[in-house]
Amino acid sequence: MQMTMKSWLSKSAVTLALCASTFGSAFAQTVYNIPSLSDFSGPFASIMPAFSEGRQSVLNWWNAEVGAKLGVKLELKPYDTRYDTAQTASLWPAVLATKPLIGFMLGGPDTAALQQRLPGDKVPMILGSAANGFGWRPNQWVFSMRPTFIHEIGGFLEWFQKNKLTENRPLKFAVFTTEASPTYADIGKGLVAYAKARPEKMQLIEVVYAELQPADLTLQLRRVLNAGAELIVMPSSLQQAVAVKRAMQALGKNVPIVYNMHNAPSTVQRMVGGMDAMNGDYEAHAAVIAGSDDSEAKRFYDMLATKYGMKQPWNSFTAIGIGQAMVLVRAVEAAARKYGGDKLTGELMYKTLVDVTYPANQFNGYSGGEIDFSVEAPFPTKDPRVNIGFVQNGKLTTIAPAVPAPKLEKW
C-alpha cells in the first residue's frame, strides 16, 4: 500500500511537472496577429476559401510543430476587403490597431491602397501571386514569393524553344491578355519587351488584347494561328483561358497552350470537357504544380489535411495559399531565431525578409527555388526557378522542375 502510495505520488509529481512544463511553454508563447486580407465577396470569392484554408492550415501546423518550440504563436485575423482599394484603405487602421506583425495580401487593390503607407506603419505583407513589372521598385514592403510573370513565362518559353523545337530557330508564340486589369496589361507589355530583346530565340506573333470575360475568341485565335503561332501564352483571367481553349477546340487545332497558376489546366478543364481535353497543354510558374505527382508538396498537403484542418481539395488555389503562408512562417521563424520569439516587430520582420536567403527545401516543394528578397526587388531575383507541368492522358504532371528563369531588364 505504501509502495502504491509512493508510486502514486511520484506519478502525480511527474504529471504535474509535465503539465507545468506544457502550460509553462504555452503561456510563454508570444502571440502575434497576422492579418489575412481576403476577398470573400468580390471577384475572387469563389476561390478564396481555398486560399484562406491554405493560409490557416499552415499556421496551425507551424504553431503546433515549430512555433511552440520558439515561443511564438501566429493568430490569423481574416478581413474581407472585397478586392476594393477603398475598402482596404478604410479598413487598414482597424487592422493596424491589432498590432500586426506581418500579413497576407491578395492582389492589386490591396497593394495600391497600402504600399505607400506600409513603410511608415512598419508592417510587411506577403503576396500570393507572381510579382509584376510596376511593383519592381526599391524599398517595397509588399513581397511576392514568385518572380514577375515575365520571369515565369520567359523561363518556360526558353525551355520550350530549347527542348521542343526540332531546330534552333526563334519560337513563334502569341499571347492573349487584357487591358482591363493593370497586371494583365503589364504582362502584355513585358512580353513584348522580352521578345524584342531576344530576336534570335523568340518571335512574338501578336499580343491579343481581349475582354476580361470574353464570349468568344475564335476569330482572334484563328488570326494568330494563321500567322504561324506554335504556342499560345495564356497568363490572363480564367474566363479568357476557357475562351481560348474553346476556340482551339472549335477550330479543331491542337497548338499547345501554356497556363499560369491562377488559370491552371486543372481549373480550366471543368469548363471545357474534362482533363482529357487539356492534353498537350502546359502549366508554368515559380510555385508547385498541383498535379497528380506524388510530390513533397502533395505529401505536405496530405499531412495538413489529416492533422491540421485542411478541407479544401488539392489544387492550384490551395497551393497558392499554402505557399504564401510558408513564406510568412519561415520568415517569422528566421526572425524568431535571430532576435528572440518575444521581441519580434514588423521592422525586424522586414529586415529578416530582405537579409535572409531562404533555401528551397524550407518550403516543402511550394516554391520554384530558393527565395531571396532585397531592398531593390520585392521578389526572388538571384536565381528564380520555374516549374513546368504537362497534361498527358488526362493527368497533369511536372515534367521539368526548377527550370532557370531568364535575367530581365525592367520594362
Partner 1 sequence: MDPSGIFFTNYASDRSLIRSRPQGLVLIVFLACLVTLPWWGGDRLISIGYAMFITCIAVVGLQICTGYAGQINLGQSAFMGVGAYGTVLMLHHFHCDAILAMVVGGISAAIFGVMFGITAARIKGFYLALTTIAAQAIFHFLILNLPGAWLGGAGGVHVESAQVLGIALDQDRTIYWLSLVVLTVMVTGAFGLVRSRHGRAFEAVRDDDVAAGMMGIPVVATKARAFLVSSFYAGVAGGLWAIALRHVSVEQFTLFNAIWMIAMLIVGGLGSIVGALVGTVLIQFAREGVTTLGPHLIEWLPGVGQDFLFASMNVLLGALIVFFLLFEPKGIMYRVEITKRAYRLWPFPY
DSSP state of 277: G
User: Grid coordinates in use for 229?
Assistant: 503561332
- Under rule CB under 8 A, residue 58 binds partner 1: no
Nearer to partner 1, 97 or 215 (CB): 97
Task: Count Cα neighbours of 252 within 13 Å in the Cβ-side half-sphere.
Answer: 0
CA-closest candidate to residue 379, choices 131, 194, 176: 131
Nearer to partner 1, 135 or 368 (CB): 135
User: Grid coordinates in use for 56?
Assistant: 490557416
Question: Sign of dihedral through CA atoms 218, 187, 230, 316?
Answer: negative
- Under rule CB under 8 A, residue 38 binds partner 1: yes
Nearer to partner 1, 76 or 275 (CB): 76
Would residue 51 be called left, alpha or beta, if left means φ above 0 and alpha means ψ between -120 and 50 degrees?
A: alpha
- Under rule CB under 8 A, residue 120 binds partner 1: yes
- Under rule CB under 8 A, residue 316 binds partner 1: no
Nearer to partner 1, 39 or 158 (CB): 39
| Residue 96 burial (C-beta neighbours within 10 Å; 0-12, 13-18, 19+) | middle
- Under rule CB under 8 A, residue 376 binds partner 1: no
Name residue 146's beta-bridge partners: 130
Shortest Cβ 382–partner 1 spacing (Å): 23
Buried residues in 193-206 as b, exposed as e (16+ CB within 10 A): ebbeebeebbbbbe
User: Grid coordinates in use for 183?
Assistant: 497586371
Nearer to partner 1, 133 or 291 (CB): 133
* Residues in 159-198 at the binding interface with partner 1, rule: CB under 8 A: 179-183, 185-186, 189
Nearer to partner 1, 82 or 330 (CB): 82
Nearer to partner 1, 128 or 389 (CB): 128
Shortest Cβ 40–partner 1 spacing (Å): 3
Nearer to partner 1, 186 or 283 (CB): 186
- Under rule CB under 8 A, residue 100 binds partner 1: no
Of 40, 198, 303, 305, the residue at the interface with partner 1 (CB under 8 A) is: 40
Kind and range of the H or E element at 75?
Answer: strand 72-80
- Under rule CB under 8 A, residue 252 binds partner 1: no
d(CA 235, CA 210): 12
- Under rule CB under 8 A, residue 92 binds partner 1: yes
Nearer to partner 1, 92 or 358 (CB): 92
CA-closest candidate to residue 104, choices 53, 149, 177: 53
Shortest Cβ 91–partner 1 spacing (Å): 6
- Under rule CB under 8 A, residue 113 binds partner 1: yes
Instruction: Tell me the site size for partner 1, rule CB under 8 A.
Output: 44
Nearer to partner 1, 185 or 275 (CB): 185
Question: Among 61-69, 90-98, 168-176, 373-381, which window interacts with partner 1 (CB under 8 A)?
Answer: 90-98
- Under rule CB under 8 A, residue 78 binds partner 1: yes
Question: Among 87-95, 197-205, 260-268, 378-386, which window interacts with partner 1 (CB under 8 A)?
Answer: 87-95
| Amino acid (1-letter code) at residue 89 | A
Name residue 112's beta-bridge partners: none
d(CA 90, CA 107): 17
- Under rule CB under 8 A, residue 91 binds partner 1: yes
DSSP 147-215: EEHHHHHHHHHHHHHHHT-SSSSPEEEEEEE-SSSHHHHHHHHHHHHHHHT-TTTEEEEEEEE--SS-S
- Under rule CB under 8 A, residue 214 binds partner 1: no
Shortest Cβ 176–partner 1 spacing (Å): 17
Q: Show the binding pattern over residues 130-159: x = contacts partner 1 (CB under 8 A), - = does not.
A: --xxxx------------------------
- Under rule CB under 8 A, residue 115 binds partner 1: yes
- Under rule CB under 8 A, residue 383 binds partner 1: no
Read off φ and ψ for residue 55, nearest 5 degrees: -60, -50
DSSP state of 100: B
d(CA 188, CA 99): 39
Would you tell me which residues interact with partner 1 (CB under 8 A)? 38, 40-41, 45, 48-49, 52, 77-82, 85-87, 89-94, 96-97, 108-109, 112-113, 115-117, 120, 132-135, 179-183, 185-186, 189
